[in-house]
Amino acid sequence: MVKVTPDPPAFHKALLRDTDASRRVIDRYLKAPDAQPSPTPFTVDDELSFEDALAHAAELLHCAVATAQASTEPLNGSQRAVMHLVEMSKVVVDRALDCLQPR
């Protein structure tokens, strides 16, 4: 009977020896990257007042609501839930601002 598939290459333990080339490959692909803290994309000034912080949060929530409403794709269940949470948060922050600045 004729064998259709060839035999696999012979295993040589010499290939597994600790050589400079194998060490370089391991260091290149398996070495953990140096742990450097990633810069935060957003920082808050230490001098920011409570009222200004609430006003800024209200503006960010307003932008989040507008962005979600402008999306052309219909929202699925979890996306609608997040949208609802953002809208509720905006209402609460707006109410807190109203309490600080009675009209």
Q: For the chain, which residues score pLDDT lower than 70?
A: 12-18, 33-38, 72, 102-103
pLDDT at 84: 83
Residue 91 lies in a domain: yes
Asked if 83 contacts 75 with a C-beta cutoff of 8 angstroms, the reply is yes
pLDDT at 77: 80
Residue 65 lies in a domain: yes
Asked if 93 contacts 57 with a C-beta cutoff of 8 angstroms, the reply is yes
Residue 39 lies in a domain: no
- The tally of domains found in the chain comes to 1
Asked if 93 contacts 86 with a C-beta cutoff of 8 angstroms, the reply is no
Residue 67 belongs to domain spanning: 50-100
Residue 64 lies in a domain: yes
Residue 27 lies in a domain: no
d(C-alpha 3, C-alpha 21), whole Å: 36
Residue 83 lies in a domain: yes
